[in-house]
């Protein structure tokens, strides 16, 4: 299996973040105010293709990798550590009313503030904005007034939400290429 490891130092981001218990287990909270588009953290992990992931036979390892994966390309995933509380990117929870978004620039995967975030606020992003696979869905427990009930891939988002995210400029290039072609029937 060919895996490219990203081993960047994330400690300078962590001084502004706090890991604590939430209704969803653990979550990341702001220890300072973040301005819109400010970098909150850099995701750390191993890059793996869907093909490589599908070849894994160990069910426990496969579940861990699936639970802590972030899709960063049509068939490419960043696999987090899952059991290392030092990698805060593994503990960013989903919200249907997010305050941050994933920005992908080559092998650099950042979490940026979607709006101003106040000290003490939980950091969240909409998992659906990076997802292009039918195999994963989960009941949503974000408790936002806009909660959709389930977290699924981008194609299942309501049309108005897809367009909103597109206009905000927060979607990864692979999602834009798939869903926002001129002849796209994904709406």
Per-residue model confidence as pLDDT tens digits over 58-112: 777 777 677 778 899 998 988 876 555 567 888 999 999 999 999 998 878 999 9
156 or 58, which is more confident?
Answer: 156
Instruction: Note whether residue 103 is domain-resident.
Output: yes
Is residue 109 included in any domain, yes or no? Answer: yes
Sign for the CA dihedral angle at 83, 86, 87, 92 comes to positive
Q: Is 111 part of any domain? A: yes
List, for residues 33-52, the tens digit of each pLDDT value: 999 999 999 998 888 888 88
Q: Is residue 184 part of a domain?
A: no
CATH code of residue 67: 2.170.270.10
Residue 185 lies in a domain: no
Report the domain count for the chain: 1
| Residue 187, domain member (yes or no) | no
pLDDT level of residue 183 (50, 70, 90 thresholds): low
123 domain residue, yes or no = yes
Q: Could you tell me the residue range of the domain that residue 107 belongs to?
A: 4-179
Could you tell me if residue 84 is inside a domain? yes
Q: What is the DSSP letter of 23?
A: T
Instruction: Please answer whether residues 77 and 70 qualify as being in contact, where contact means their C-beta atoms are separated by less than 8 angstroms.
Output: yes
**pTM here?**
0.87
Nearest to 42 by CA among 128, 98, 108, 122: 108
């Amino acid at each position: 299996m060919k895996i490219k490891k990203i081993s960047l130092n994330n400690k300078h981001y962590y001084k502004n973040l706090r890991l604590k218990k939430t209704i969803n287990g653990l979550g990341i909270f702001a220890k300072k105010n973040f301005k819109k588009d400010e970098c909150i953290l850099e995701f750390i992990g191993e890059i793996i293709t869907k093909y490589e992931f599908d070849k894994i036979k160990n069910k426990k390892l496969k579940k861990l990798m699936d639970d802590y994966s972030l899709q960063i390309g049509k068939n490419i995933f960043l696999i987090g550590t899952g059991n290392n509380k030092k990698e805060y990117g593994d503990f960013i929870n989903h919200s249907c009313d997010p305050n941050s978004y994933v920005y992908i620039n080559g092998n650099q995967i950042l979490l940026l503030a979607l709006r101003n975030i106040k000290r003490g606020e939980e950091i969240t992003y909409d998992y659906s904005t990076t997802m292009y696979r039918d195999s994963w869905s989960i009941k949503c427990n974000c408790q936002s007034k806009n909660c959709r009930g389930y977290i699924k891939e981008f194609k299942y988002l309501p049309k108005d939400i897809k367009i909103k995210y597109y206009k905000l400029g927060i979607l990864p290039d692979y999602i834009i290429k798939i869903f926002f072609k001129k002849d796209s029937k994904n709406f």
